[in-house]
Amino acid sequence: MSARRAVVILDFDGTLAPIVASPQASALARPARATLARLAASPRARVAVVSGRALSDLQRRVGLAGLVYGGCHGLEVAGDGWRFRHPRARTRALAGARRALAAGAARLPGARVEWKGLAVALHYRRVPAARRPAVRALVRELERRLPGLAVIPGNRVYDFVPRVGWDKGMAARWIARRARAELGGPPAVLYAGDDTTDEAAFRRLRRSGVTIRVGGGPTAAEFALRSVADVHALLGWLARALG
């Protein structure tokens, strides 16, 4: 990247922080937080973190002012003077999904339901492999019963979100357009993520940005990094280049 301005958009779990057994235990390492803070302090950079996590949860785990945060796959964006909530995102159907998932999860040892405000998630990382077909059956049943919701599969999680035709890719493009106006010139756009949910961003930014898949597997991203540590090294380089 040789541009004099940059918009850096990052996933959280598996990109900024390692994947851990319990999503509740995920944490950003202190050196990585310091690097993000240096990069965000540059007048030539805009840094955003976009995640399937709830907006408040994401803000708490990163814990930095001066960043833009996108929760629930970008349905809700806030930080450093920004505020966006998808105008067609409604929570009425989500309440029904929450009740149905809670009833279904009670029959699945290890399953956990998480309310995120604009999404409700079924976590199944701790569900025994033999019971995971029952998880998929529950999700398919609710898809049929709740056509107003879309299901976003992730890393051992299914997120139910309002069906409004929005994903991380559309959120990333929205962030990049607004950041361009703030930075006062055309920036380079970089997006890094590790999950299937990030593929939408890779596809939408393929012709207009630098897309990076963290870890292995088939991907629409142009480049790849092996690990979270490699992401931190890249952010350090960017902080020095743009500082």
Q: What is the pTM of this model?
A: 0.95
> pLDDT for 92-130, tens place per residue?
889 999 999 999 999 999 999 999 999 999 999 999 999
Task: Determine the CATH number of domain 6-86+166-242.
Answer: 3.40.50.1000
Q: Is 11 a catalytic residue?
A: yes
Q: Which residues of the chain have pLDDT under 70?
A: 1-3
Q: CA 222, CA 197: separation in Å to the nearest integer?
A: 16
Q: CA 149, CA 92: separation in Å to the nearest integer?
A: 10
Q: CA 5, CA 213: separation in Å to the nearest integer?
A: 22
Task: Determine the CATH number of domain 92-162.
Answer: 3.30.70.1020
User: Any idea where the domains of the chain sit in the sequence?
Assistant: 6-86+166-242, 92-162
pLDDT, position 2: 52
pLDDT, position 229: 97
pLDDT, position 1: 53
